[in-house]
Amino acid sequence: MESDTLLHMANFSTLFVCMVLKFPQIFVLMRAKSTAGVSLNSLLLELTGFIVFVTYQMYYDYPPPTYLEYPILIAQDVILLLLILHYNGSLQQSLIYTLVFVGGWRLLTVEKWIIDLAMSLCTFISAASKFAQLQCLWRSKDAGQVSALSWAMATYTCMARIYTTTVTTGDMQVLVRFIVMTSLNMWVLLTILYYQKHSSSKKED
């Protein structure tokens, strides 16, 4: 009974956090009208990973509470993508991205081996998205327009999903993905906090 309560709490809290996870980042971009420090490549890779992951879960009829947040995250990532393209002056590229993502999503479920292969690569894709963001931060040394709150919430949701996956499906591919994502999200978060602190110190000087 206690484990069931804990599972429900983990599922509910993850869903609740994911409903607003990208909002801080969206608001920061809208206020600054600048994408400094925010990696477009990271967002595109993250979106790809999300689409593969939720398609895999649905294909194998996993319990909806274990992946319900992903359609919400995909919608928020789409809004972020449109904002980044808008502030970069390349909004017309949104049509190309739409065709690529929709076409790729349809392709995933054509054959079982395709979705299995995509899922085996999903962790690498998602990890690459974090490294792309880290590289962007290292290069610009500016985390001014990157929301630490969004990355902190992302870290929590991955930690919660380690628990829910362990007690429900036990899928090792999924479990490894969440462990890797938790570590990398924490790395990005600490990097953001470092550069924000460094930037604040320079302003005070």
Task: For 82-127, give the secondary structure using H, E and C.
Answer: HHHHHHCCCHHHHHHHHHHHHHHHHHHCCCHHHHHHHHHHHHHHHH
Q: Region 152-162: what's the mean pLDDT?
A: 94
Determine the Cα–Cα distance for residues 8 and 38; give it in Å rounded to an integer.
34
Structure confidence at residue 147 as a pLDDT band (50, 70, 90) = very high
Percentage of the residues of the chain whose pLDDT score is greater than 90: 63
Q: What is the pLDDT of residues 49-85, one digit of tens each?
A: 999 999 998 999 988 877 888 999 999 999 999 999 9
Q: What is the pLDDT of residues 113-122, one digit of tens each?
A: 999 999 889 8
- What's the pLDDT score for residue 110? 87
Phi, psi of 146 (to 5 degrees): -105, 130
Determine the Cα–Cα distance for residues 16 and 72; give it in Å rounded to an integer.
10
- What's the pLDDT score for residue 173? 84
Determine the Cα–Cα distance for residues 122 and 125; give it in Å rounded to an integer.
5
- Write out the two tokens for 105: 């999503």
